[in-house]
Amino acid sequence: MAKRWVAALLAAMPWMVESQAEKPVYAHFIVGIVENYTVDDWKADITQAQEIGIDGFALNCAPERIDGYTPKQLANAYQAAEELGFKMFISFDFAYWSPGDTADITDIVGNYNDGAIVSTFVGDNMDWNAVKSALPNQKITALSNIQDPSFLASAQTGLDGAFSWYAWPTDGGNSIIPGPMTTIWDERFIQNLAGRPYMAPVSPWFFTHFNTKNWVFICEDQPTRRWEQMLTLKPALVEIVTWNDFGESHYISGSQPNHSDDGSSAWASGYPHDGFRTLWAPYIAAYKSGADKPIVESDQLVYWYRTTPKDIVCTSDTLGPPNGIQYLADVVFVATMLTEPAELTMTSGGNAPVTVTIDAGIRTTNFTIGVGQQSFSVSRNGAMILSGTSDKEVTSSCETYNYNPYVGVLSST
């Protein structure tokens, strides 16, 4: 039954069927921080995304009454996408929209979603039947973000499938539980969808430190664990959460110099996540091809870690430590991407070097964190093939709390 639904979805949306796009991968893009973007800025992001196999952006946007630049940036996004052969669809952010905005939502869908997906952030109570009735000549595939998957079994709101936001270990909402990440929420969605397409979320991290939300989810080995779950689960679609939400630390984009700052630069500036794109490219290719494992074509190493131990007390932070730190481990994570087995040596600060034998493929290993420099090396048959020291040290003091990971890459020459 699931295969019939996927086939119907693809037949209804021929723009999805390109190269490997039978299993499309999208990335959640926050329009609310790119009010100053030009078409060329959009193209820069699109090019980064295309390099690792992402098919399109889900454009998280607020109404024009909230963000006056929304129409301009949607137009810029679609223009850039058309010129580069990329896909876009609207993800209405129901922190700001409501069912009372159905007429405006219908106008936007009519202008931009010619035969495409339409999605949301929350928005469980949005009735898509009204939108579809108002646009009878347009194919609309509603994959809303639903918070309670049991709702899907009896929903009469015109849903064609669903998207989950539960990309981190949780009992629901923003509750934080010990890791690791499981597929329990995915399985609930799939069961209640009864064969309709499921757009599964994949996210590398979640830390935020605003006065309205101050927490860290337990995502430590999640950058690889979650993709391994996708290769087993094989959902109809995947949405990466997110491309550029610096405020919640789950971005995988570059630094985006022209985006606005909502205060998140306090923890995102100087903390690149580009390495997650390097790590995820083979997983995306494997997911699209239906493979059970990623194929590694060159020797690389991606590492990530927090830059202070979890129990350090920061001296100038009025918000206090984020909720969730009690479940964290003080470790450095290293994902080796190897064409053949090799020896990995990691030296964390003042700790003694640790050497482990690593199999071919992508493997994630963790090491006890030490204050100071973080150094990595990989050797094979007695010859060094990768070696380097991170630009960011682990420190034993801080002014403000930052549980955003620093991510780095070592590549063979």
Domain over 300-411 is classified CATH 1.20.120 = no
Which element (helix H / strand E) includes 376?
Answer: strand 374-380
| Residue 321 token pair | 């430590």
Q: What are the Cα distances from residue 249, in Å, to 230, 348, 349?
A: 21, 23, 24
* Delimiting residues of CATH 2.60.40 domain(s) in the chain: 300-411
What value does the mean pLDDT of the chain take?
94
Q: Specify the range with the lowest mean pLDDT, choosing from 16-30, 264-278, 387-401.
A: 16-30
Quote the CA–CA distance of 231 and 238 in Å, as a whole number.
11
Residue 105 is predicted with a pLDDT of 97
> Do 224 and 335 touch, CB atoms closer than 8 A?
yes
Q: For residue 148, what pLDDT band results from cuts at 50, 70 and 90?
A: very high
Is it the case that residue 145 has pLDDT exceeding 70? Answer: yes
> Do 176 and 132 touch, CB atoms closer than 8 A?
no
The predicted model scores a pTM of 0.94
> Do 378 and 336 touch, CB atoms closer than 8 A?
yes
Q: For residue 16, what pLDDT band results from cuts at 50, 70 and 90?
A: very low
* Delimiting residues of CATH 3.20.20.80 domain(s) in the chain: 2-289
> Do 301 and 319 touch, CB atoms closer than 8 A?
no
Residue burial 354-371, b: 16+ Cβ < 10 Å; e: rest: eeeebeebbbbbebebbb
Predicted confidence (pLDDT) per residue in 299-333, tens digit: 999 999 999 999 999 999 999 999 999 999 999 99
Options 3.20.20.80, 3.20.20.70, 3.40.50.10470, 3.30.930.10; CATH of 2-289: 3.20.20.80
Mean pLDDT of 191-210: 98
Q: Is 258 exposed, middle or buried (0-12, 13-18, 19+ CB in 10 A)?
A: middle
Predicted confidence (pLDDT) per residue in 51-105, tens digit: 999 999 999 999 999 999 999 999 999 999 999 999 999 999 999 999 999 999 9
> Do 4 and 195 touch, CB atoms closer than 8 A?
yes
7/299: higher pLDDT: 299
Residue 257 is predicted with a pLDDT of 87
Q: What are the Cα distances from residue 91, in Å, to 60, 122, 181, 242?
A: 5, 10, 25, 12
